[in-house]
Each structure stands twice: as structure tokens, then as C-alpha cells.
Amino acid sequence: MGRRWRDGRGTLVVHGDGGAPPVRVPLEIAASYRARTRGLLGRDSVDGAILLSPAGGVHTFRMRFPIDVAYLDRRLRVVAVRTMRPGRLGLPRIRSRHVLEAEAGAMAGWGVRVGGRVEVAAAE
């Protein structure tokens, strides 16, 4: 059930708890080695979230702001969520196949939680 995306834009759909309506967030998809390596480096902010795929871990060296990191398994279930300050090395997660990054605090507002599910709708 491997997913392959291309670099570009899309929408992150966060499925809430208990029948809450899904939250739709602007998404940047970084699927190539070059785009994943660049990620959020050198930026002052991010509009929505960025998906690094495939990815099992991240670092925040040379980042300018703290970020939320959600580790996703192959079915896009959230296996861990962490907030990382600049200059940190995140531990890789065994079951992680994809990583979402957003500005610190954003994911809690969207309802991204361990055990929750997200969808990625790539722009056509």
C-alpha cells in the first residue's frame, strides 16, 4: 500500500475525533530527495504544512522557528507528534513512512493526534 507523490501542492485533510468535521489545510508535498532535503530550511514560516515522503525522521538544524512534527505510518495514521525547537535532531520512528511539519502549535489546533488519521489530496 505504498504511496508515491510528486513535489507540489495539495490539501491535508485531518479527520477529527467523534464525528467532528475534517479540517482542510494547505499542503506542500516534498517527495523528491532535493525537496525533502530542503524542507523548511531557510524559511521564516510555512503556509499550512509540508509533507516529507518518504521520511522516517527530521532535524531542525538551520531552521528559524520551532515546528510541530507528526510521524505517519504507511496508512497515514499518526504514530507520534513532537514540537521541535531549532537546532535539534529528531529520533527516527520505526513505523514512520512520512513526516508532516508545520509551525509549532498548528497541529494541536487542527486536531492532529497520535492514533488519528490524515489524508493527502494532491492538486491535479
Question: One digit per residue, pLDDT tens: the chain, 124 residues?
Answer: 346 789 999 999 999 777 778 999 999 999 999 999 888 877 888 889 999 999 988 888 888 899 999 999 999 999 999 999 998 888 888 889 999 999 999 999 999 999 999 999 877 5
**pTM given for the model:** 0.91
What's the number of CA atoms in the CB half-sphere (13 Å) around residue 103?
Answer: 12
2: which 3 cell numbers? 505504498
